[in-house]
Amino acid sequence: MGEKKKKETKEKELPPINEEATKLVAAIHEGQLGLIEELYDLYLKKFLNWADKRFYTTPGDIEDAWQEAVTSFYMKIKSEKLTELRCKASTFLFMLGHYWLLKNGRKLKRIWWTDEADKLLAADPVIAVSFFDDDIWEEERLLLRAAIQVLSPKCQKMLIRRHFEGYKIAEIMKEFEYKNENSTTASLATCLKELKEIIKKMTKK
């Protein structure tokens, strides 16, 4: 397949334009700079919690990443490199912060929770950003899918139920016929630990 054909195929796979986020980009480009400060304050705490689950680093490093993400977001809009979005503005900012941490040598934990699970496990492509040097989201999706396949069928299903589909402990206990919630939780913890170890081994190769 030629480069032109590949590009056309990728473009067809992309999600539709997010009108609300694109209007926000236009407003910032037109000079409504207060929106940048609002975005910074609105999602700072969420980003700190989100990134803390994914990186071995300090709160200060994560806050620096958020600062860089918001600054980069503004500069891309100002230079007209960014004129539209195919996701929420918060999602895009999180991607920039995540990318900054990766580029600065932070060690990714390689374990993801429900906010990205549906994207990581689904066959649909992850949101592509043309100015990224590499597709970090695609790498994560493939890694997680490969790691899950190594687990036993029971562990696969239990983790998907709990972390990806949002099942409660009681619901999992009933489905898998555990005697109580404590034994269910212990089994889930064991499966998650195995998944982490599998991912750790894969990232060392």
Residue 45 maps to which CATH number? Answer: 1.10.1740
pLDDT value at 174 more than 60 = yes
Predicted local confidence at residue 173, as pLDDT = 95
* Residues 185 and 127 grouped into a single domain: yes
* Residues 132 and 197 grouped into a single domain: yes
pLDDT value at 202 more than 70 = yes
Q: Which domain holds residue 141?
A: 110-205
Assign residue 66 a region (left: φ > 0; alpha: ψ between -120 and 50; beta: otherwise).
Answer: alpha
CA 32, CA 28: separation in Å to the nearest integer?
5
> Which tens digits make up the pLDDT trace of 135-168?
445 556 667 778 888 899 999 899 888 877 778 8
* Residues 95 and 124 grouped into a single domain: no
Domain end call among 90, 108, 126? 108
Domain end call among 79, 108, 137? 108
CA distances, 81 to each of 50, 78, 165 (Å):
27, 8, 36
CA 191, CA 198: separation in Å to the nearest integer?
11
* Residues 44 and 130 grouped into a single domain: no
pTM as predicted? 0.53
pLDDT value at 40 more than 90 = yes
Give domain status of residue 1, yes or no: no
Give domain status of residue 10, yes or no: no
Give domain status of residue 92, yes or no: yes
CA 136, CA 102: separation in Å to the nearest integer?
9
Give domain status of residue 190, yes or no: yes
Residues of the chain above pLDDT 90, percent: 34
* Residues 102 and 176 grouped into a single domain: no
Give domain status of residue 174, yes or no: yes
CA distances, 27 to each of 18, 70, 136, 143, 192 (Å):
14, 15, 29, 38, 43
Count of domains for the chain: 2
Q: What is the DSSP letter of 17?
A: P
Give domain status of residue 149, yes or no: yes
Domain end call among 108, 140, 170? 108
Give domain status of residue 33, yes or no: yes
Predicted local confidence at residue 141, as pLDDT = 63
* Residues 118 and 156 grouped into a single domain: yes
